[in-house]
Amino acid sequence: MPTIAVDAMGGDHAPDAVVQGVAQISLATDIECLLVGDERRIQSVLEGVSYNPEHIAILHASEAIGMAEEPREAVKRRDASLLVGVRAVAEGRAEAFVSAGNTGACVLACAKHFRLLRGIRRAALASVYPRQREQRGQDALALLLDVGATVRCEAEELVHFALMGSAYARRISKVASPAVGLLNMGREEMKGGDVLVEAHRRLRQLPVVNFVGNLEGNDLVRGRADVIVCEGLLGNVALKLIEGVSEVLYDLTNAAAARRVAWRLGLRLLAGGIERLRALTDYTQYGGSPILGFEQLFIKCHGRSSARAIGNAVKVAAKAVRDHVPREIADALAAAR
């Protein structure tokens, strides 16, 4: 069973939610977790919940990086849990790292201590999100990358992202030939400027990628592609827009329920459907998303991650280790050369 290092101090609800998530995983699976952080606080949370000590070790780190800290300054603190954990993975003491902490610091910590796969120039932060299924057998989740690790990209980097995302989806979502799309302002191949046009041309010529062409914004939540590739700035805006729309929908529903009894009754009738929608957009069940491009694995969780989300992220990390995701990406890169 793989050892997964977990940043006990990262996230809005750390260390409680993180330690509780790991405790749940220790009871339900054979995955070994290395909790990284303030051992006294970790132990104090651990003793108050059910856990299996046989699957949990603790690596002390005296500092923690705040969610609002400036990432470049934050990663200079060598004894911060994020840095201690990433080093532990780089040194081979664990096979993957899971953190719900400061996203910028996570990406920089990886860049500082992990090694890029041969041929990869830039890492990509991916995000898993729910989308509509257009065909039978399609995964309920799509992978969007990059969502912020590399703000501006060259065409070659977008091609790398396509290869990485495709390899990840093949292994984790078990899609034999994931459909890959390029996020653009129109479906025509000449749209979007030089970088996107060149990326489109190269992707179309790559036999190892099932490229379905350009995608527009409204395609993001449809089932046209399993992997959507874009530069970090665009991906981040798109992701936040999806999250924002979902949140506004719930706010409007709640406001409507509070305003009129008739609306409340109507919503009560729709409760089953709303609950299904909530389940579909519930990030806690997807766990986390990978930072791809390194020889080592990093799963980034939502900052607001609950114990359940952390537990699912640990499972995703273990699955990525077992399925040799970095090797799959390296093989895909080699085949594309």
Partner 1 sequence: MRLGRARPGATPPASAAPLLCRWDLDKTYLRSEFDSLRSLLRTAFERAEDKVDVPGVAELIRALKAAAERRGRSALVYFVSASPPQIGAAIRKKLALDGVPYDGIVFKDQLAYLKRGKLRNLREHVGFKLAELLRGRLAAPPGAAELLFGDDWELDSLIYSLYADLVAGRLLPARLAPILRRIRVDPRLVDDILTLAGRAAGSERVARIFINLERRSPPATFRLFGPRVVPTFNYFQTAAVLGADGHLDAEDVARVGRVLLEGAGYTPRRLENSLGDLVRRGVLTPAAAEALGARLRAAGVLPAADGKARWRRVLGALRRLRRGRRKRAGAAGETPALDYDAILDRAAAASGRSA
Indicate which single residue of 29, 39, 208, 243 sits in contact with partner 1 (rule: CB under 8 A): 39
Question: Applying CB under 8 A, does 27 fall inside the site for partner 1?
Answer: yes
The distance of closest approach from Cβ of residue 21 to partner 1 in the complex, given in angstroms and rounded to an integer, is 15
- Beta-carbon contacts of 82 under 8 Å, excluding residues fewer than 6 positions away, are 7, 9, 10, 65, 74, 75, 99, 101, 102, 105, 106, 109
Query: Considering the rule CB under 8 A, would residue 58 count as an interface residue with partner 1?
Result: yes
Over the range 156-190, which residues count as b (16 or more CB within 10 Å of their CB) and which as e? Answer: ebbbbbbbbbbbbbbbbbebeebbbbbbbeeeeee
Question: Does 29 interact with partner 1 (rule: CB under 8 A)?
Answer: no
Beta-carbon contacts of 293 under 8 Å, excluding residues fewer than 6 positions away, are: 116, 117, 120, 122, 123, 124, 160, 164, 329
- Which residue, 43 or 177, has its beta carbon nearer to partner 1? 43
Query: Phi-psi bin for 213: left (phi > 0), alpha (psi -120 to 50), beta?
Result: left
- 48 touching partner 1, by CB under 8 A: yes
Q: Which of 15, 22, 55, 147 binds partner 1 (CB under 8 A)?
A: 55
> Degrees (nearest 5) of the Cα angle 168, 171, 175?
95
- Select from 40-48, 181-189, 219-227, 305-313 the region that touches partner 1 (CB under 8 A): 40-48
What are residue 59's phi and psi, to 5 degrees?
-115, 120
Applying CB under 8 A, the span of 38-46, 185-193, 198-206, 322-330 interacting with partner 1 comes to: 38-46
Contact segment (CB under 8 A) with partner 1 among 58-66, 128-136, 201-209, 288-296 equals 58-66
CB of 42 to partner 1, least distance (A): 9
Q: How far is the CB of 145 from partner 1 (least distance, A)?
A: 34
Nearer to partner 1, 3 or 312 (CB): 3
Summarize as ranges the residues that interact with partner 1 (CB under 8 A): 27, 32, 39-40, 43, 47-60, 93
